[in-house]
A and B are shown apart, each in its own frame.
Chain A
Amino acid sequence: MQKIGVFVCHCGTNIAATVDVKAVAEALGHEPGVVISRDYQYMCSESGQNLVKNAIKEHKLTGIVVCSCSPRMHENTFRKAAASVGLNPYLVEIANIREQCSWIHKDIATATEKAIILGKAAVAKVHLNAPLTAGESPVAKRALVIGGGIAGIQTALDIAEAGFDVDIVEKNPTIGGKMAQIDKTFPTLDCAACILTPKMVEASQNEHITIHSFSEVTDVKGFVGNFTVTIKKKARYVDETKCTGCGLCTEKCPMKKVPNEFNMGLDNRTAIYIPFAQAVPKVATIDPNYCMMLKNGKCGVCSKVCSVGAIDYKQEDRFIEQKYGAIVVATGFNPINLDKYDEFAYNQCPDVVTSLELERLMNAAGPNGGTLLRPSDKTHPHKIVFVQCVGSRCDDSKGKPYCSKICCMYTAKHAMLIREKYPDTEVYVFYIDVRTPGKNFDEFYRRAVEQYNVHYIKGMVGKVTPRSDGKIEVQASDLLADEQLHIDADLVVLAAAIEPDKTARPLATMLTTQMDTNDFFTEAHPKLRPVESATAGIFLSGACQGPKDIPETVAQASAAAAKAIGLLVKNSITCNPCVAHSDELMCNGCSSCEKVCPYGAITYIDKEFRMPDRTTAVRRVASVNPAVCQGCGACTVACPSGAMDLNGFSNSQIMAEVDAICK
């Protein structure tokens, strides 16, 4: 005979304001098998938990139902409480009467009725709950970091510091990411390369870190503690182990007209190239789209000049497979494409540039050796207009609905640096709002206005018209003075919105992690678990989770590393016992479940069965690997014969809930 306890939480007024909790406790007390039904102000508090524990002991309860918040919030709390007094934690059921009831209803009568129904469904289910025991699975003591920008580098360094092996997979020929392209960093104006490149070198020299540059993750299998990842090492046509990075091949390569992506296409590179002087690894890469040898077999200069014989035109993509306990995503961001912003004439005029292009124009390793010159005629610009929020905070389909967060600060930085170096230059900044929260940030912006006399104008630029005399007409509104402005500028700089890297979405599919509508990775909890994804063992680092500046990125990168280390130090982790299993007598071997399983947990085996007529027969039946199964339930729905069932969410339990709701 089942003895079930029901515990209804007020959650302060969160539930009690719209649900008559006493009526719920009273009603559920009459359900079959319920021997005790109580309500309490905060069931998750220590005294609330004690109430539950005492009731379990006193009434020798065989199952409990807690009517409270979402199971994502406190299911674990009550499972632990039950386990501490000897009740199997899987005999605890949560009826969510907060998120799915009190928060979304206004009428007390309706909400109370619904809360009672949800409670009844949980009682009906708990009658059928069976005690489950969680198994254990080992943890592979190695971490994978996807993305080798400042986020990925910091995460890898911190994990390596703790003594674990970590691999960085970077799609470009070098690590360093966007920070390597940036000239100076706010709010201290120190040079980005000076603080980044030592970290890059540290990463390459650390005995625990392996860098797979020019590589991509192509497949992820397994689960927390036990991921199997396939990494594609793209053919760079240069033997990494032989190349010394001397650069002779890049000097001699006759194909010199390849847009240089490191300098945002503002100058050219050769077909065989090392992205920049401090690249890590400092190894040449051949661009097959431009190399004449690879395209039509005529040239071969680089292989002739290479003294160590590192050039290999026949190199092919290689695939390596590695086991990891934890994966950290650090795929970063890109500025958006500005094709749809013709009003700013970005595609019409070379002197309309993005902020990242300006970084290169001002950088000592950039196309002009650090002197700010207009791309069109290499003259010094005397009047510069900055346009903020290009594509950020946009309510139409062209742009992004969010604030890109970093633009206000880097625009202030650009304006200040230009006024400092070229005092004869007039600088205008058009803004919607200036947003500079952060340590020493607002002071920085005020310095640009007050000390450097940058003209900050509230209002947006309506039209940018390039003229044949080289001037750029900027038409804008000054909202505070209520005036239309016409400025004849020499250079226009657009603070383009930032968006997640395009590789993030396919990666999210491989990792079975969630993304928001803007393709930023979703954290497990927006406040309390900001660096974990909802998928166990997958952590988030840097701008792949949302727009971030460098200090924030580094902080999050270290936080993600701490979480990954917390996982790697464990020798084994507790598995989820709510996994699928197959009734072999009912299974007809159709393979439907195998096809829908996203984790590859189902295989087919040939097994001998005794038949009714005392003969034996070999039949093909499904077999679930409980260590791989994540309990998603897809197979139970796909199985045509009803052989697949899920522990803790069996077909009979679900039907009992439905019956209770529909009664």
Chain B
Amino acid sequence: METFTYYPGCTLRTKARDLDRYARSSAMALGISLEEPDDWQCCGGAYTTAKDEIATKLSAVRTLNAAKSVNRPLVTVCSACHNVIKQTNYDIIHDDEMASKVNNYLKLDEPYCGETTVYHYLELLRDVIGFDELAKRVVCPFKGKKIAAYYGCLLLRPSKALAMDDPENPSIMEDFIKAIGGTPVIYAQRNECCGGYITLEDKDQAAKRSGVVMRSAADQGADMIITACPLCLYNLKKNSGSELPVYYFTELLAEALGVKEENDE
């Protein structure tokens, strides 16, 4: 059994428990062991673009270093955590000044220089397990189900740092949907922002944006939407005014692998 360091992130302990537990049960079913570091902290939720700001990036470095200390790749599943951790890692590698500031501050036993490989859970499925192999393990395929993938704004961007898929014409989630037996629905709004970030400031705007996303998917005949982002899920469900069901992709994965029921609380 291959073992990876797993960073769930704080939302997955509260609002997004489903995203987390189905990720874990599915990994187990796929023969992957996910090990949480002992004392992880919140990733910060948003990657600050201020060049001289390092305090908010330190917790991500601690997580990366925790994976490095056990010499394992790091897996995350939340879009926001994945975004922050991968961007931090990218900047540590490419920005010497930031790397030295971070290391001066953290005073680790050995400086962290971007050694850890970071996978999003979807990348784990695509690059480590392989979608073909995943398709073979599926016991309850989503046959005939038209599933729309919602990437949102964070999962793939900035594409240079995240290096996951083409940010404008991605295929990783559609390939995932095919692997679990469903029919992917391509719709124009799949990689646009849902407005979740401004929910507190301007709820109308968030409602408008999420409505556009949901209508676009429904218009193209989708039966459901899947996402990897807790904030998107919340916003699409609560603010959009649409009845179209929204799920975490891990929930469908667990169901396809036949491990959903026994893990349900």
Could you tell me which A residues sit within 8 Å of B by CB distance?
A: 339-343, 345, 347-348, 398, 463-468, 473
With both chains docked as a complex, state the minimum distance between the C-beta of A577 and any C-beta of chain B, in angstroms. 51
Chain B residues within 8 Å of chain A by Cβ, number: 13
Q: Can you identify 13 A-B contacts, CB atoms within 8 angstroms?
A: A340-B168, A340-B169, A342-B166, A342-B191, A398-B168, A463-B188, A463-B189, A465-B188, A465-B216, A466-B188, A467-B219, A468-B219, A468-B220
Q: For the complex, is B35 an interface residue (Cβ under 8 Å from A)?
A: no
With both chains docked as a complex, state the minimum distance between the C-beta of A316 and any C-beta of chain B, in angstroms. 38
Residues of B within 8 A of A466 (CB): 188
* Residue of A whose beta carbon sits closest to that of B218: A468
With both chains docked as a complex, state the minimum distance between the C-beta of B149 and any C-beta of chain A, in angstroms. 13
A414 to B154: give the CA distance in the assembly, Å. Answer: 38
B220 and A340: CB pair below 8 A?
no
Known: A340-B166, A347-B169. 11 other contacts (CB 8 A): A340-B169, A341-B168, A341-B169, A342-B166, A342-B168, A343-B168, A465-B187, A465-B188, A466-B188, A468-B221, A473-B188
Q: For the complex, is B173 an interface residue (Cβ under 8 Å from A)?
A: no
Interface mask (B179-190 → A, CB under 8 Å = 1, otherwise 0): 000000011110
Could you tell me which B residues sit within 8 Å of A by CB distance?
A: 166, 168-169, 186-189, 191-192, 216, 219-221
* Residue of B whose beta carbon sits closest to that of A349: B188
With both chains docked as a complex, state the minimum distance between the C-beta of B242 and any C-beta of chain A, in angstroms. 15
A348 to B186: give the CA distance in the assembly, Å. Answer: 7
Residues of B within 8 A of A340 (CB): 166, 168-169
Q: Is the interface of A mostly helix, strand, loop or mixed?
A: loop
* Residue of B whose beta carbon sits closest to that of A339: B169
* Residue of B whose beta carbon sits closest to that of A341: B168
With both chains docked as a complex, state the minimum distance between the C-beta of A551 and any C-beta of chain B, in angstroms. 35
* Residue of B whose beta carbon sits closest to that of A343: B168
Residues of B within 8 A of A343 (CB): 168
With both chains docked as a complex, state the minimum distance between the C-beta of B162 and any C-beta of chain A, in angstroms. 15
With both chains docked as a complex, state the minimum distance between the C-beta of B247 and any C-beta of chain A, in angstroms. 22
Residues of B within 8 A of A345 (CB): 188
A290 to B186: give the CA distance in the assembly, Å. Answer: 29
With both chains docked as a complex, state the minimum distance between the C-beta of B189 and any C-beta of chain A, in angstroms. 6
Residues of B within 8 A of A348 (CB): 186-188
A347 to B188: give the CA distance in the assembly, Å. Answer: 10
A217 to B232: give the CA distance in the assembly, Å. Answer: 55
Residues of A within 8 A of B220 (CB): 468
With both chains docked as a complex, state the minimum distance between the C-beta of B222 and any C-beta of chain A, in angstroms. 11
With both chains docked as a complex, state the minimum distance between the C-beta of B239 and any C-beta of chain A, in angstroms. 19
A464 and B221: CB pair below 8 A?
no
A464 and B188: CB pair below 8 A?
yes
A427 to B7: give the CA distance in the assembly, Å. Answer: 52
Residues of B within 8 A of A398 (CB): 168
* Given A463-B188, A464-B188: A342 in contact with B169 (beta carbons within 8 A): yes
The 9 lowest CB-CB distance pairs between A and B, nearest first, are A465-B188, A342-B169, A342-B168, A468-B219, A345-B188, A348-B186, A467-B219, A339-B169, A340-B168
With both chains docked as a complex, state the minimum distance between the C-beta of A397 and any C-beta of chain B, in angstroms. 9
A153 to B251: give the CA distance in the assembly, Å. Answer: 62
Residues of B within 8 A of A464 (CB): 188
A467 to B168: give the CA distance in the assembly, Å. Answer: 19
Residues of A within 8 A of B168 (CB): 340-343, 398
A467 to B212: give the CA distance in the assembly, Å. Answer: 11
Q: Which of B187, B188, B219 has the most CB of A within 10 A?
A: B188
* Given A340-B166, A342-B169: A465 in contact with B221 (beta carbons within 8 A): no
Residues of A within 8 A of B216 (CB): 465
A398 to B221: give the CA distance in the assembly, Å. Answer: 30
Residues of A within 8 A of B191 (CB): 342
With both chains docked as a complex, state the minimum distance between the C-beta of B264 and any C-beta of chain A, in angstroms. 35
